[in-house]
Amino acid sequence: MPKILIYKLIWLFVIYGTDLNERRMHVHVGKKGTGILCKIWLEPVISIANPGDLTIRQQKEVMQIATEFRDDLIIQWQRFMAGEKIKAIIVK
């Protein structure tokens, strides 16, 4: 489960190894130190696939982050799918 984006040491954007079987680009987003996760589609547009236990406010926050970093997230997804090593993007 590589971390592909760490946003302000709060939000962790990850891809699961089992995601290899799912071709639609997406990421899982979790709040550091909690089990809270959601799933966000990166295509055709950014949207919540599964809000998990995120509040509406948290969903809006991760959607804004995903929208801002969409191109980076897509590149990370493509690298992962190609079997390349992933280095997390860290935003402070």
* Mean pLDDT (whole number) for 44-52: 95
Give how many domains the chain has, as a whole number.
1
What local confidence, expressed as pLDDT, does residue 35 receive? 82
Q: Could you tell me the residue range of the domain that residue 40 belongs to? A: 3-91
- pLDDT computed for residue 36 by the predictor: 81
Distances (CA, A) of 68 to 5, 7, 20, 35, 61: 12, 11, 24, 24, 11
CA 37 – CA 29 distance, rounded (Å)? 5
Rounded Cα distance, 58 and 78, in Å:
26
Contacts of 38 (CB under 8 A, 6+ apart): 28, 29, 30, 48, 49, 50, 51, 52, 53, 54, 58, 59, 62
Give pLDDT tens digits for 10-23. Answer: 999 999 878 777 88
